């Protein structure tokens, strides 16, 4: 059995690592040149793309920004899961917003801008604090601009006037004062069975995910049910197969959708050690038509991204429940180099392990770690 992944980064690698025990091999396409590589060893594989499209049992994606011709080839093979529509929706914020509206799913107030002159009207209707997002090819906060006050609008317009907004429109959103960010990672099988991981709480810094804690603290049944209902609507409407992530802003007791990701997701990496079956294995099971695995939580877990940081000594592995995933990529500023998963018996212990981790890693790359550790310790102390 074999699966072809479009994209050859760390997500393809983690899918491959969880597929092998099931007797499923995974090859990856480097979308820059359509060469085939082993996503774990990064060695070139001699098979051609055409050969593999015919031979493999299923084709999936590790990210949504797949070149059009490659996506079309995969779609035409009849083996692409999730569907081409799902991938295109995740790749295009205008399409995504239209789907959310069609399904009456609460999301962030927005307007679509195809000419910088329309930004004045956007400020009038949404207010002067805005987040402006390129509708395609953005990730990790790239392709985004922030407007803090009206006075900065002329400067921003000048900057944006260099873009071809007819080709790639902007989605202009009201900058929300949300209480926190949560995400739901869940999976739908080919016969429509769903399995949900618990909501994770996500901490961002400069538009990039730094820490996820799962299960999120302070979750009630209503929040879980809102999130799962939204997932069901999206997954059913897209006839989705595989793992789908939904990012939320929580305002009071309401969840608004920020965006969706038609793939395994960074805020689901905690499942590699904190859940019975990890998101990567469940995605592989789903796209291969196998029964889904249990999403039961085995321990509270914190996932801590290693961002822009060069290699370091591995002494932190002495912390009980500390697991490291080092992706083996060339270091670059703001690049995701790897992640830690810290598992513990309860939030008190989890907070203490996170504090212990701060002793081993350079503080400037982990700006959220210490405060979040203390918050978890305080949360647990108050509970007991």
Note the residues at the interface with Mg ion (CB under 5 A).
Answer: 247
Please report whether residue 64 would count as binding ligand ATP according to CB under 6 A. no
**Could you tell me the smallest distance in angstroms from the CB atom of residue 140 to ligand ATP?**
5
Element (H, E) at 338: strand 336-343
Give the tokens for residue 32: 């820059």
Count of other CB atoms within 10 angstroms of residue 290: 16
234 or 343, CB closer to ligand ATP? 234
242 or 293, CB closer to ligand ATP? 242
**Could you tell me the smallest distance in angstroms from the CB atom of residue 236 to ligand ATP?**
23
80 or 307, CB closer to Mg ion? 307
Taking CB within 5 to 8 Å according to partner kind, which of Mg ion, ligand ATP, none is near residue 260? none
350-357 long-range Cβ contacts below 8 angstroms, 24+ apart = 350/213, 350/300, 350/301, 350/302, 350/376, 351/375, 351/376, 351/377, 351/380, 352/377, 353/302, 353/319, 353/320, 353/321, 353/322, 354/302, 354/304, 356/316, 356/319, 357/304, 357/316, 357/319, 357/322
Give the number of residues in contact with ligand ATP, rule: CB under 6 A. 18
Element (H, E) at 244: strand 242-251
Give the tokens for residue 293: 């695995």
**Could you tell me the smallest distance in angstroms from the CB atom of residue 302 to ligand ATP?**
17
Angle at 260 between CA 254 and CA 264, to 5 degrees: 120
Taking CB within 5 to 8 Å according to partner kind, which of Mg ion, ligand ATP, none is near residue 336? none
Taking CB within 5 to 8 Å according to partner kind, which of Mg ion, ligand ATP, none is near residue 380? none
Among 45, 48, 115, 139, which residue interacts with ligand ATP (rule: CB under 6 A)? 139
Among 9, 207, 308, 367, which residue interacts with ligand ATP (rule: CB under 6 A)? 207
Distance of alpha carbon 341 from alpha carbon 301, whole angstroms: 7
Please report whether residue 141 would count as binding ligand ATP according to CB under 6 A. yes
Distance of alpha carbon 87 from alpha carbon 263, whole angstroms: 8
The answer to whether 55 and 14 have CB atoms below 8 angstroms apart is no
Please report whether residue 140 would count as binding ligand ATP according to CB under 6 A. yes
128 or 140, CB closer to ligand ATP? 140
13 or 288, CB closer to ligand ATP? 13
Among 62, 96, 259, 380, which residue interacts with ligand ATP (rule: CB under 6 A)? 259
**Could you tell me the smallest distance in angstroms from the CB atom of residue 213 to ligand ATP?**
15
The answer to whether 39 and 3 have CB atoms below 8 angstroms apart is no
109 or 291, CB closer to Mg ion? 109
Length of the chain: 384
Distance of alpha carbon 254 from alpha carbon 252, whole angstroms: 6
**Could you tell me the smallest distance in angstroms from the CB atom of residue 33 to ligand ATP?**
24
Taking CB within 5 to 8 Å according to partner kind, which of Mg ion, ligand ATP, none is near residue 141? ligand ATP
247 or 372, CB closer to Mg ion? 247
Distance of alpha carbon 308 from alpha carbon 333, whole angstroms: 5
**Could you tell me the smallest distance in angstroms from the CB atom of residue 349 to ligand ATP?**
28
88 or 175, CB closer to ligand ATP? 175
The answer to whether 113 and 172 have CB atoms below 8 angstroms apart is yes
Site for ligand ATP in 105-124 (CB under 6 A): 108
Strands 170-174 and 194-196 come out as: unpaired
Please report whether residue 209 would count as binding ligand ATP according to CB under 6 A. yes
Distance of alpha carbon 353 from alpha carbon 148, whole angstroms: 37
**Could you tell me the smallest distance in angstroms from the CB atom of residue 234 to ligand ATP?**
16
Site for ligand ATP in 161-190 (CB under 6 A): 173, 175-176, 181
Please report whether residue 96 would count as binding ligand ATP according to CB under 6 A. no
Q: Which residues bind ligand ATP (CB under 6 A)?
A: 108, 131, 133, 138-141, 173, 175-176, 181, 204, 207-209, 247, 258-259
């Amino acid at each position: 059995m074999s699966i072809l992944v479009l994209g050859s980064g760390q997500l393809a690698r983690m899918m491959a690592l969880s597929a092998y025990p099931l007797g499923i091999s995974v090859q990856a396409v480097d979308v820059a040149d359509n060469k085939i590589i082993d996503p774990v060893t990064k060695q070139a594989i001699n098979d051609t793309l055409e050969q593999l499209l015919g031979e493999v049992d299923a084709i999936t994606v590790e990210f949504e920004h797949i070149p059009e011709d490659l996506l079309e080839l995969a779609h035409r093979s009849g083996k692409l899961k999730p569907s081409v529509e799902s991938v295109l929706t995740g790749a295009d914020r205008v399409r995504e917003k239209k789907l959310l509206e069609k399904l009456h799913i609460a999301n962030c107030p927005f307007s679509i801008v195809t000419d910088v002159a329309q930004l004045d009207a956007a400020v009038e209707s949404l207010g002067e604090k805005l987040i402006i997002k390129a509708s395609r090819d953005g990730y990790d906060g790239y392709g985004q601009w922030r407007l803090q006050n009206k006075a900065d609008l002329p400067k921003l317009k000048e900057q944006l006037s260099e873009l071809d907004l007819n080709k790639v429109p902007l989605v202009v959103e009201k900058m929300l004062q949300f209480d926190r960010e949560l995400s739901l990672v869940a999976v739908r099988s080919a016969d429509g069975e769903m399995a949900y991981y618990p909501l994770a709480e996500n901490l961002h810094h400069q538009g990039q995910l730094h820490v996820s804690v799962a299960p999120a603290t302070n979750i009630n049944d209503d929040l879980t049910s809102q999130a799962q209902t939204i997932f069901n609507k999206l997954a059913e409407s897209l006839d989705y197969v595989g793992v789908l992530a939904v990012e939320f802003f929580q305002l009071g007791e309401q969840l608004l959708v920020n965006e969706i990701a038609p793939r395994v997701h960074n805020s689901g990496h905690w499942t590699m050690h904190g859940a019975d079956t990890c998101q990567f294995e469940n995605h592989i099971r789903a796209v291969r038509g196998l029964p889904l695995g249990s999403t039961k939580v085995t321990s509270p877990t914190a996932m801590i991204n290693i961002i822009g940081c060069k290699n370091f000594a591995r002494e932190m592995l002495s912390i009980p429940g500390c697991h490291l995933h080092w992706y083996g990529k060339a270091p670059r500023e703001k690049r995701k180099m790897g992640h830690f998963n810290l598992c513990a018996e309860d939030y008190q212990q989890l907070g203490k392990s996170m504090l212990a981790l701060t002793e081993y890693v350079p503080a400037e790359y982990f700006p959220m770690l210490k405060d979040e550790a203390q918050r978890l310790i305080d949360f647990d102390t108050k509970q007991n």
